[in-house]
Amino acid sequence: MNKQGLLIAFKDGIGLTKSEAKAAVNLFFNKMSNAFANGDRVKIRGLCSFYVKKYKVYTGRNPKTGEQVKIKPKKEKYMQEGNYKSALILGVCILLGLAFLGFFLGSSAIKFKEYERTVTVKGLSEKEYPADVALWPIHFSSANNELAKLYASIEKDSNEISGFLKDNGFEKQEITVSPPGIIDKLSQGYEKSKIEFRYTAAQTITVYSKKIKDVRATMNKLAALGKKGIAFTGHSYQNSTEYLFTRLNEIKPVMVEEATTKAREVAEKFAKDSKSKLGKIKKARQGQFSINNRDKNNPHIKKIRVVSTVEYYLSD
């Protein structure tokens, strides 16, 4: 009979599951191994006793050559047999004890599994907030056959736009002027006869401001500059405007609390329908916050949402 045989005997003879029998046998042998490791004697009265005998360094002989050799210190396990009748009685007691241990482990596992009944629910928190930062790029261009006049023209338009923005309440630090980009069509292989203007320039002035209402109002007035001869390219000054929401950390606690509350409401309804009691939280996961435009016509209003996933214990 070895360890595997003992495991099978517990499993088939007592009616334990394989995992329960394995746990009982391992517990028994692990205790014995720990005792040996500490140098203790394991005594099963009436059956046998186990102990470890230590040998110091001593001189021995090589059985082949007869030469003297130093034997390293070592430890060896020994078993001393006991009385047969007492051993039989004790063996039965050990078997019964292990059976009880297996039964106890099995019933504990069943109770643990019953306690492990859970329900996983999701809670949604969704709110609308106005954006607090506007990023408004104003693109414009100019064309000329003389490079010097082109630079003069694009500079004039840039100053005109900057003055217009300041007149509408924007500070100097809210306005950024990028250098113009110049294109020479002749150097790019265009036919000279088909080129009306050899040089074209494109430039961008960017407004970065927390004055959302002022930005939107000024965008509607920008057409007045077009009447003065400034060519805005592709209406991109309107289409590419970005509205940012930067106060997420301020609203996170409130939204997470709301999502968790809604998740618990769903879990309580589930517990009630299944005639169970809702217990403590086993596990919770906060979803990722998403920030999107409310709709394509109102990009300055943001829809913010988060979904929290919570797992609760259930009991009868």
Judged by average pLDDT, the poorest of 107-116, 146-155, 213-222, 277-286 is 107-116
Largest distance between two CA atoms of the chain: 121
**Per-residue pLDDT, 263:** 94
pLDDT at residue 213, as a whole number: 95
The residues pairing with 200 across neighbouring beta strands, listed in sequence order, are: 143, 183
Percent of the residues in the chain that have a pLDDT greater than 90, as a whole number = 49
Identify the pLDDT of residue 61.
Answer: 75
CA distances to 155, 216, 263 from 168, rounded to whole Å, are 20, 11, 48
175-177 and 199-209 strand pairing: antiparallel
Ramachandran angles phi, psi of 82, nearest 5°:
-115, -165
Strand partners, 125: 306
Q: To 5 degrees, how large is the angle CA 148–CA 150–CA 155? A: 100
Report pLDDT digits (tens) over 289-315. 999 999 988 999 999 999 999 999 998
| pLDDT score, position 179 | 94
Tell me how far apart the alpha carbons of residues 241 and 235 are, in angstroms, rounded to a whole number.
Answer: 11
Give 249 or 64, the one with higher predicted confidence. Answer: 249
Does 206 have pLDDT greater than 70?
yes
CA dihedral 225, 230, 236, 241 (to 10 degrees): -40
In the chain the domains, ranked by start, together with CATH numbers, are 3-115 (4.10.520.10), 118-130+246-315 (3.30.110.170), 133-244 (3.30.70.2970)
Q: How far apart are the first and last CA of the chain?
A: 44
pLDDT band at 143 (very low <50, low <70, confident <90, very high): very high
- What is the rounded distance in angstroms from the CA atom of residue 300 to the CA atom of residue 295? 9
> Is the model's pLDDT at 31 over the cut of 80?
no
What SS3 class is residue 99?
helix
Residue 183 has pLDDT above 60, yes or no: yes
Supply the pLDDT for residue 101: 56
3-state secondary structure of 98: helix
Banded pLDDT at 257 (limits 50, 70, 90): very high
Average pLDDT, rounded, for the chain: 82
Q: What is the pTM of this model?
A: 0.59
pLDDT tens figures, 82-129 = 555 555 555 555 665 655 555 555 555 444 445 578 999 999 999 999
pLDDT at residue number 57:
72
Closest C-alpha among 95, 123, 109 to residue 10? 95
pLDDT-based confidence at 237, cuts 50/70/90?
A: very low
